[in-house]
Chains A and B, each alone.
Chain A
Amino acid sequence: MTSEDMNWTEPGSPSDVDLYRVWTGVAAEVWRRRPGPAERLAARLLRSPGLARALVTTPSLLLGWVIATVVVLAAGAAATRSTGTPWVALFAPAVAGAGIAYAYGPGIDPTWELSQTMAVSDRMVLLVRALAVFGLNAAAGLAATAASGAAAAVTFGWLVPMTAVCALALAAATVSRSANVGVAAGMSGWAITVLSSRVASGQFTAAVTRAALVIPYLIVAAGCAAIAAYATRIPRGTPR
């Protein structure tokens, strides 16, 4: 039914009744989407329904992805319990890095160009999504390491390398405009770190337990965050 079809009034009906208005009012009620509790909470916290909607549509926060993350970490916890090797600590940074790379970007978001013309900036969307993915992965990882019965040093030791891996994945994804490149960079960077630490110290857990690595991890994280910020900078204004 088109607007032209609806711009008439029934014989005998009050002449000031605009049936088109009535119809769109009814349609608005019928088609109205009721936001879920997570979206309502996010809208309240972020003070922006648009940002909240963008958050709940994050590819790496969709149910399937979250379930996959939990399955991988649960498998890691089970393997840790049976073998004694802290697999959760080794898996968690890689899983989080993949999630961050898939948080947002031109390679992921089919409406990237359109999103760049929105009042809610794509950079703000990226920031909120990245923080949410990081927080969810950190919580899931902590729960999994606690369940695996790992030592305290291992339980928290992977949080700093996870930050560095996430920043590396995000920087690679935003610079290359490809989430897959971000995933590859994060995972290969972490694999190289784990293997080289093992070669140097003879321990699989060295990458997450050696205190000497904390500063290099933080430097990598800060550098990669700066690169991501530069890659997603708002275009400069009109030259004067």
Chain B
Amino acid sequence: MNVEIANLTRRFGRNQAVAGVDLEAGPGVLGLLGPNGAGKTSLLRIMATVIPPSSGTMRLLGRDPGVHEPRREIRRRLGYLPQALGYYPGFTVVEFVEYFALLKDMPSARVPAAVAEAVERVDLGAKAKAKLRTLSGGMLRRVGIAQAIVNNPELLLLDEPTAGLDPEQRVQFRALLRDLGQHATVVVSTHLVEDVGAACTEVALMDAGRVVFRGTPADLAALGTDRDTGDAPLERGYTAALARARAGSAGSRS
């Protein structure tokens, strides 16, 4: 298992962002669904070693991220796309991707080929030498994806990766996700259930800091067969799973 999380919590002051998450994931694409404020981004940031958990245990790629040297090894094998990707406006696409390849400790001899491959995989070859300040929002998102995959990561964490992509780019991106998921554990946080249906092998639905559903996209769709809220089977399953989880937690409170 590349991700082993048990009873993980994260608190920001009085707000419990992650409230006892258990999650295991091996190679494949895991879609992390949930409404705003469900805790998806906090969970991804913990897995990306940006913030530590408040309690619980976590092992990534068989290593403990709480210890310096294993954490460094995890980071060498990690790809992360934050929700809000900052960038250096004066860097070109290639310079930006190369910068993060070097910070990921890739051997410098391997960097140019890895950068070229990552840039081509996100279909930005024609803009390779363009300054980031000249790119559209969708292109910047693809630059972010390129830096995340440049080290051929074993664990890839993507927070809202399709935000800003046009429909054609989203279709290409889903194909890329499926390809990456052959060998790596890809965790994708998204609001777009169609992305989950097209690219994910598994789904975890979060609400109020907890994972309230775990299964395949087909399992999720099956939950909504008797509902009429939503335009697509997965949307109906999504609302059904959320309603069931909320009814359950309301029942346990009363």
Contact = CB atoms under 8 A, between A and B. Distances in A.
Interface string B107-133: 010011101110111010110110000
B116 to A, nearest CB: 4
B50 A117 contact: yes
Interface residues of A toward B: which range?
35 or more
Interface stretch (B72-80, B193-201, B218-226): B72-80
Contact of B120 (A3, A116, A119, A121): A3
A238 B71 CA distance: 11
B65 A238 contact: yes
B104 interface: yes
B88 A111 contact: yes
In the complex, which of the residues A48, A117, A119, A237 has the most CB atoms of chain B within 10 Å of its own CB atom?
A117
Interface in A43-57: 43, 48-50, 53-54, 57
Given A115-B103, A118-B103, A119-B105, A25 B75 contact: no
B66 A238 contact: yes
B186 interface: no
B163 interface: no
B88 A117 contact: no
B100 A238 contact: no
Given A3-B121, A24-B113, A24-B117, A119 B66 contact: no
Interface stretch (B15-23, B91-99, B206-214, B242-250): B91-99
B58 interface: yes
A33 B129 CA distance: 10
Interface residues of B, number: 56
B54 to A, nearest CB: 8
B1 interface: no
Given A29-B112, A117-B75, A238-B53, A111 B87 contact: yes
B58 A238 contact: yes
Interface in A33-71: 33, 43, 48-50, 53-54, 57
Nearest to A20: B120
Interface string A11-35: 0000000001001110111011100
Interface in B161-181: 172
A114 B51 CA distance: 12
A120 B105 contact: yes
A20 B75 CA distance: 28
Given A31-B94, A110-B86, A238-B58, A50 B102 contact: yes
A112 B104 CA distance: 14
Contacts of B84: 113
Contacts of B104: 50, 118-120
B216 interface: no
A31 B129 contact: yes
A232 to B, nearest CB: 14
B160 interface: no
Contacts of A1: 120, 125-126
Contact of B52 (A3, A27, A111, A236): A236
A123 to B, nearest CB: 11
A88 to B, nearest CB: 32
A202 interface: no
A20 B113 CA distance: 12
Contacts of B108: 43, 49
Nearest to B176: A3
Contacts of A32: 112
B75 A109 contact: no
Contacts of A49: 102, 108, 111
20 contacts: A28-B113, A31-B94, A31-B115, A33-B94, A50-B103, A53-B102, A57-B88, A113-B45, A114-B86, A117-B78, A117-B80, A118-B103, A118-B104, A118-B105, A120-B104, A235-B52, A236-B52, A237-B52, A237-B64, A238-B58
The 5 closest A-B pairs by CB, nearest first: A237-B66, A110-B86, A50-B102, A119-B105, A28-B116
